[in-house]
Amino acid sequence: MASSKRVTELSKQQQSILDVLNTETELACVLIGTSYIDQCLSEILREYFIAKSKTVNKILDSRGLLGTISAKIDLAYSLGLISKPVKCDLDIIIEIRNSFAHSHEKIHFESRKIKELIDKLEYLKIQDEEQTLKNSESPKELNYTYILKTPRDRFKTTIALISSKLVLAAFGTKHREECIAYVQNYSKKNN
């Protein structure tokens, strides 16, 4: 189950992405963070599909069948590559990205609409619940929802955790085998 160089490279980029999420403008944080998630989804799908296929490259191209992040999210969920809570949070992240990218007004994490969307993100809450179930004595001060006070902190941590989960999933995803049954049957018939 050897992962591609692309996934390894994506993993190496994670720290620089985290730096951007922490230091750049809010617009850059949203656009670059979402773009990184998009790339992670592309790679998990590429790892799932048959290897070294021009068709795979074509459908994952920005003008291809899976050219949008929404299409990648839906397919990754439908194939069982991501969970329902991850899909839901990714859909919200897309809404946040669209709000930032398509507004003619200055928008920020403290905007009412963005705060409401960020409050809907569930992944950090689920992580907190899992931690509590594993260790009921765990102090609430270690919970993400307690530590992360600002909408930006919750957004960037959600991006960081979900992208890490996607990269790890890509490392563990096995390529499908190319279907060769017809070719084998055809060859046998003509011999």
Q: How confident is the model at residue 191 (pLDDT cuts 50, 70, 90)?
A: low
pTM reported for the whole predicted model: 0.84
- With a cut of 90, say whether residue 86 has pLDDT above it: yes
Longest Cα pair distance anywhere in the chain, in angstroms?
A: 72
Q: Pull the structure tokens for residue 159.
A: 């991006």
Q: What is the pLDDT of residues 99-115, one digit of tens each?
A: 999 988 889 999 999 99
Helices (H), the chain: 5-12, 14-23, 26-48, 54-60, 69-78, 84-101, 112-120, 123-134, 144-147, 151-171, 181-189
Mean pLDDT of 165-173: 88
Range of the domain at 62: 5-189
Question: Residue 96 is part of a domain; what is its CATH number?
Answer: 1.20.120.330
Q: What are the pLDDT digits (tens) for 9-59?
A: 888 888 889 999 999 999 999 999 999 999 999 999 998 998 888 888 898
**Total domains, the chain:** 1
* Residue 120 · residue 154 · CB < 8 Å: no
